[in-house]
Copies of this chain bind each other. A is one copy, B any other.
Amino acid sequence: MAGLTDPDLLFAPETRTLARALYAGVKDLPIVSPHGHTDPRWYALNEPFPDPAQLLIVPDHYIFRMLFSQGVRLEELGVPTLEWAPVETDGRTIWRRFAEHYYLFRSTPTRLWLDHVLEHLFGIDEPLDASTADRHYDMIAALLSRDDYRPRALFERFNIEVIATTEGALDDLKWHRMIRDSGWHGRVVTAYRPDAVVDPDFEGFLANLDRLGEITGCDTGSWAGYLEAHRRRRAYFKEFGATSSDHGHPTAETANLSGAAAEELFNRIRRGSEDERERKLFRAQMLTEMAKMSLDDRLVLQIHPGSWRNHSPAIFQKFGRDKGFDIPTRTDYVAALKPLLDCVGLERDLTVILFTLDETSYARELAPLAGVYPALRLGPAWWFHDSPEGMRRFREMTTETAGFYNTVGFNDDTRAFPSIPARHDVARRVDCAFLARLVAEHRLREEEAHELAGELAYTLAKRAYRL
């Protein structure tokens, strides 16, 4: 192959011809990005991106966790500490450190994404290593200073039809307002992420409830007022394009308490109950409350459970959240979701999208559940599993029971804006390779595979997320 990414990337030799043909039909489809974490400020202000290291290395937990695992300190990579202890600030130095260790990423998705970015965004065709680090750095830095590398220009170049960001329930959405008021035609929507006001373990939870009351003019000292405040925030988020809410609970546990019991639980929580079971039950109940609100306002409800956040207290204390120390855990869905499903699972106008970090649930629990409950759909392979093998396992373990049409296409789920085309490209390639295999084994007709390739790359996401 010439360059960094082969045109046949991810296509098995034995089914390559068909995979190529399927991919040719979808590679230029617009990007629908219904779930992600890019910063709306970028699109609002449209300022140039910072230096290559600040853009591509420092904020990427996939990258710094791997280097950290091999003995590089986070400070050496410019990752800021909570107390602003001195860390490396020279972009070129950070970039060189990364380049020296780039071999660590062999056969990881980070490697695929970054090679794609280097070649397709920055026109680089030499492999990154210590010897090429400076040359690459200079090329990227030069391009980042150009107007056609500003956020909105890239958004358009990337052919993004719509992208969702994620904002907390207390966010004023000012960047979204600025985008809307700017007259720019790029479609950037928000999503409602209320963890800070539904999870009693969240930092500052009680103060957050007070703040929620101030923002909405509701009495968040009462259960009714608290629910009403959610309704108003959801409506406010919908004004800025939101079509979904998102919930990142430690488990998939749900509850279906009576109104009176829920109110009493809220009252105890509101008074600062330290009872771990009550706090857990409240989170569980709130998933069901959110689902009930979705019946009215039609927001799609996303559940992202099963991450043990901030596993290392030493790292958490020094560097804070999202530093690569979120570890997947075993996750049950069959018992955990039953209360929510008993309440709203048979609703045909509700969409609840389930994600997992526990692949053992794909064939055993998630596909059987989504293959019968009308309200359920399966989100794509998530986080550590958003990788060629991970996506292949997702299809192999869900399709035979849930089919393709109970899945929702691809989520890039990223804050790494430059990598968005790479991520969608990898997903499209993996799906085309999977479909090619089915056709080669006569499990699917070729024309069906072409139709499905388009569904998986584009249509299912639009439909499931109501975009």
Contacts and interface: CB of A to CB of B under 8 A. Distances in A.
Interface stretch (A4-12, A22-30, A221-229, A284-292): A4-12
A202 interface: no
B13 A13 contact: no
Q: Contact residue range for chain A?
A: 35 or more
Contacts of A384: 363, 367-368, 400-401
Interface string A373-384: 110100000001
A260 interface: no
Interface stretch (A141-149, A184-192, A241-249, A437-445): A437-445
A9 B443 contact: yes
A20 to B, nearest CB: 12
B5 A107 contact: no
B371 A12 contact: no
Contacts of A109: 400
Interface in A384-408: 384-385, 387-390, 396-397, 399-406
A105 interface: yes
A268 to B, nearest CB: 27
Interface string A1-44: 10001101111111100000000000000000000000000000
Given A12-B440, A69-B372, A69-B402, 16 more contacts: A6-B442, A9-B443, A66-B371, A69-B373, A103-B448, A106-B452, A107-B399, A108-B400, A108-B401, A311-B341, A311-B369, A329-B365, A357-B364, A359-B363, A363-B384, A387-B401
A146 to B, nearest CB: 30
Interface stretch (A132-140, A160-168, A312-320): A312-320
